[in-house]
Structure 1
Amino acid sequence: MKINIDVNTAEFKRAMGVAESQVKYAASRAINAVAEKGQKAVQAEMRKVFDRPTEWVINSLRLKRSSKAQTKLEAEVAFKDRNSAESSRTMVEPHVVGGSRRFKAMEARLRGIGMLPAGWFVVPGAAAKLDANGNMSRGQISQVLNVLGSYTEAGFNKANINTVRRLAKGGLKSSQYGQFGFTYWVNPVGGKRSGRLLPGVYQRVQTGFGSSLKPVMVFVKSTSYKKRLDFYGIVQRTADASLSTEFTSAFNEAMRTARFSQQGSLL
């Protein structure tokens, strides 16, 4: 998600005639200043178009700075991409380009054990525990993945058999009225109850008067997003509005600090 900035402006041409040796340094500084402004402008827009975005989302943009040592001067504002399964791009990019999002880490794990077919995604169910930002809590995700045997790290399953049994029961206890608490139950895609019940992971809640099923994770065929974040437009407009000023300022500063007899300015 890169935007190239053309510095072949009138100010640039004039600067070449004054002190060519300082132009590249000034252009690099100007490009970096514009990229920083673009990053901040996109972050400000995120707070407007997203509902209670987390700081992880707001800070999902990385900035790769320009250097005068480069043959081709360029800076880059892009989304962090830690790995192919779960990253800032996974979460935010669909709101920029529209269409279906990439799959998340938990979805990759569910697919790895054959629980979630290709092309299917996970959305929170009515029994999902949500954090302050409306996302499914990490604790509950870990619990479900432990129960399903898919919560692994570096090839090591973090849950031993006793932990799995305890989590699967969900604190199921007995009383004079019978058992109460919940157990986890999975309705697979294409399962016998798919016609009456959405595929997904459920809590089978037990009370002294019977049991009921409450969805924790629901498996859906696809997720579609509308374009909400004008990433490209924001950065491009920022560049168009500020590049000339930033270059002039950087060049004049370079001229004030340069150690040579010929002095010049674009003022």
Structure 2
Amino acid sequence: PLPGVLRCGVPMSMMMRLDATDFIRRSGAFVDRQLPQIEVWALNWTADDALAAVQDKMKVEFDRPTRWTLNAFQVWRATKSKRVAMVQERPSVARRHYLKVQNKGGARPQTALERLIDDRVISDTIIRAVIPTQNARLNSYGNWSPGERNQVVSSIGAQRSGAASIAAASKTRGRKRGRASYFVPKPGQLSPGIWKRTAGGRLSMVALFDDGAPVYKPRLDFEGAVAKAYREKLEGNLRKAFARAVRTAR
């Protein structure tokens, strides 16, 4: 119990006095002892809130983001020995460029597929970008189907002898298997790009070659989303952490 005095005063009044010196001293010792854990809880909860805010921003700004994209960031959790929490790209994502471009804007670097095609294919245009057309197969996220991309790579990725032989080899494989084949036409014949020939001989372009890099406007604002969550959530999480420390103190 706190040291204090309760006295009767004039009729229908009670006077209260309190000397909280010892309570403050003991509370200070409690806070000093529990402060590292309080900070760890508050930081980690706030980092979790920031990660959720970034994921919510992705769902608004991006068209049907994949699970890979939504899980592109992770929380590096604070500990008592290192009371710092971080929201950062996962290492598997940090090596790639697409979120960085969506965040800051600017020209997009070449993808692995674009680099392979640029290296392996003879074309009458500089191949800076490979852009799927309306004839390309899309997956449920609106992206070029990995299955069709793999067929394209198998048709032209391993070929090094020029576009004419690529087209001939692809055409032969497609007819033998009774399915569509993919090829890059000889310069000057069809428009530069990746073409599909059905088993019946119908031609359609599934991806076009562009000599310019696609340019993006800033959309994600990762730093802004994290900073906003930090400003709005830290104080409440600190209060919650303090209450938890009081509740669980031994």
* TM-score, structure 2 normalization: 0.71
Rounded to whole Å, the distance in 2 between the matches of 1:255 and 1:29 is 13
Count of residues in correspondence between the two structures: 214
Distance 1:181 1:55, change over 3 A: closer
1:216-259 Cα shifts (integer Å, max 9, x gaps): 22222211111122221111111101111211221232243334
**1:80 deviation in Å?**
2.6
1:185 partnered with 2:197: no
Tell me what 1:67 maps to: 79
1:102-131 Cα shifts (integer Å, max 9, x gaps): 333323433453669988122212321111
What is the identity, as a one-letter code, of the residue corresponding to 1:21?
R
**1:99 deviation in Å?**
0.8
**1:18 deviation in Å?**
5.7
Q: Which has the larger radius of gyration?
A: 2
SS across alignment from 2:57: helix
**1:135 deviation in Å?**
0.7
Tell me what 1:218 maps to: 208
Tell me what 1:105 maps to: 112
Instruction: Say whether the 8 Å CA contact 2:98–2:108 is kept in structure 1.
Output: yes
| Unmatched segments (≥5 aa) in structure 1 | 1-14, 152-163, 174-179, 260-267
SS across alignment from 1:53: coil
Instruction: Say whether the 8 Å CA contact 1:99–1:224 is kept in structure 2.
Output: yes
What is the identity, as a one-letter code, of the residue corresponding to 2:87?
V
Rounded to whole Å, the distance in 1 between the matches of 2:155 and 2:28 is 67
Structure number with higher helix proportion: 2
* Identical amino acids, percent of aligned pairs: 29
Rounded to whole Å, the distance in 2 between the matches of 1:248 and 1:184 is 61
What is the identity, as a one-letter code, of the residue corresponding to 1:237?
K
Tell me what 2:175 maps to: 172
Instruction: Say whether the 8 Å CA contact 1:42–1:235 is kept in structure 2.
Output: yes
SS across alignment from 2:107: coil
Instruction: Say whether the 8 Å CA contact 1:127–1:215 is kept in structure 2.
Output: yes
Moved over 3 A (4+): 15-18, 111-119, 167-171, 180-183, 204-207
Rounded to whole Å, the distance in 1 between the matches of 2:28 and 2:220 is 38
Distance 1:52 1:83, change over 3 A: closer
Tell me what 2:193 maps to: 200
**1:185 deviation in Å?**
2.5
Rounded to whole Å, the distance in 2 between the matches of 1:246 and 1:232 is 20
Distance 1:58 1:217, change over 3 A: same
Instruction: Say whether the 8 Å CA contact 2:103–2:221 is kept in structure 1.
Output: yes
1:39 partnered with 2:51: yes
Instruction: Say whether the 8 Å CA contact 2:156–2:184 is kept in structure 1.
Output: no
How do 1:1-267 residues align onto structure 2 when only pairs under 5 Å count? 19-70=31-82, 73-82=83-92, 87=96, 90-113=97-120, 120-150=128-158, 168-169=171-172, 171-172=174-175, 182-187=180-185, 191-193=187-189, 197=191, 199-205=192-198, 207=200, 213-220=203-210, 221-259=212-250
Instruction: Say whether the 8 Å CA contact 2:36–2:80 is kept in structure 1.
Output: yes
Report the RMSD for the aligned CA atoms in angstroms: 3.3
| Unmatched segments (≥5 aa) in structure 2 | 1-26, 160-167
